[in-house]
Structure 1
């Protein structure tokens, strides 16, 4: 799983600059590997290059000017395709199921369509379900 695959989820919540996306990733995927400052910028540029995101202006409130990005319909479609894939379970690697299902929810897909992921990872469906409930509640409240 790459930063490029994860960023469309938080970006689907609304146009943002890299630092705001770093913060959202930390909030949405607290147990994942945290993004370092500046780590989102190259993947964002690749998303723009590939048509999955586009520049949506700039923000310059009290900070140097920051490029603001937004997810495109193509980016939403690509994320839906990625989240529909079942990642094979591999010992001693980080688990992709939660971030994959979370991105599916963030880009507006039906979470029920991704329940097959829980079959792929029978070790932690209760934890995943609880975290997804919190995420869905937060998204519905915003």
Structure 2
């Protein structure tokens, strides 16, 4: 899971403290495992160390001290690069693909462009798998593995197409 990049995405709309980052993540992914507070603060510390976020305020507001973090220019650039890059199609990559689509929508980036890039990446991988199967001798286990991967990629393509349709419909209704 790309926790660091999701934290950057959550800070995209403005500075926040760790509690708000955790709440934002859990709201973006209500059917997923909640993000642990420890993971939030560890990630924020690492992002600060790497120059991707900075402390913009420290205050207590009548309670415990809260550190407020904001994106740096380097952090914005890192987030934009992550959102633009399609993930490499592989088993287990579905979760990250869905997370990137949701983060792209919530950060105001062009979700249809990301979906198109992801679709192209999946199609390229399916072609590679088919070419490998056609070139191979009758190696049944290898073909079964390739078939398994291709079927899952095909299911991903159907999901990508459905997501594109929904986002396109939403854009048209907002006009």
TM range (shorter): 0.7 to 0.9
Secondary structure of 2:61's match? coil
Of 80-89 and 122-131, deviating more is 122-131
> Structure 1 stretches of 5 or more lacking a match?
137-142
**Corresponding residue number in structure 2 for 1:122:** 157
> Structure 2 stretches of 5 or more lacking a match?
123-155
Question: TM-score, with normalisation over the residues of structure 1?
Answer: 0.78
Higher relative contact order (CA 8 A, sep 6+): 1
Return the alpha-carbon distance in structure 1 between the equivalents of residues 167 and 27 of structure 2: 12
- Superimposed CA distance per residue, residues 62-100 of structure 1 (whole angstroms, 9 cap, x where no aligned partner): 420011001122111111111222212333565211211
Distance 1:68 1:118, change over 3 A: same
By how many angstroms is 1:110 displaced? 2.6
Return the alpha-carbon distance in structure 2 between the equivalents of residues 45 and 129 of structure 1: 39
| Structure with the larger helix share | 2
Which protein is bigger by CA-based radius of gyration?
Answer: 2
By how many angstroms is 1:102 displaced? 2.8
| 1:26 aligns to 2:26 (yes or no) | yes
Return the alpha-carbon distance in structure 1 between the equivalents of residues 168 and 32 of structure 2: 15
Root-mean-square deviation (CA, aligned residues, Å) is 2.7
Of 124-133 and 18-27, deviating more is 124-133
Of 78-87 and 99-108, deviating more is 99-108
Question: TM-score, with normalisation over the residues of structure 2?
Answer: 0.65
